[in-house]
Amino acid sequence: LLALQYLHGSKIIHRDVKAGNVLLTLDGDIKLADFGVSAKNSSTVQRRTSFIGTPYWMAPEVVQCETSKESPYGYEADIWSLGITLIEMAEMDPPYH
C-alpha cells in the first residue's frame, strides 16, 4: 500500500498490480515490481484510456476502455488491482480464475 501511495503521489499509475509483481526480500520487506506498463501523469487528476494490464486484475473501468475511450480511469484502478491481489493471496487464485 505504501508503494502505491508513493507512486500515486508521484503521479504514476502502475497498471499491473498482481501477486506476481509483489516481491519479498530476505529481510521481509515487500517491494512492488514490473513498471513496464506504468504511466506517468502530468497532473493528479489526469485519466487514462489505454487498455493495459493483466485481465484478472483489471478494474472494470480499464476493461471498458477496450470498447469505449469515453470512460477513462485513474489511480483507483491500481487500488482495485490491489484488492484482487489480496483475494488472490488469500485464496491462492484470483477471483473467477
| Catalytic position from the list 16, 29, 78, 93 | 16
Please confirm, yes or no, whether 29 is among the known catalytic residues.
Answer: no
Estimate the share of the chain in helix, then strand, then coil, as percent rounded to the nearest 5.
35, 10, 50
Question: Mind telling me the catalytic residues?
Answer: 16
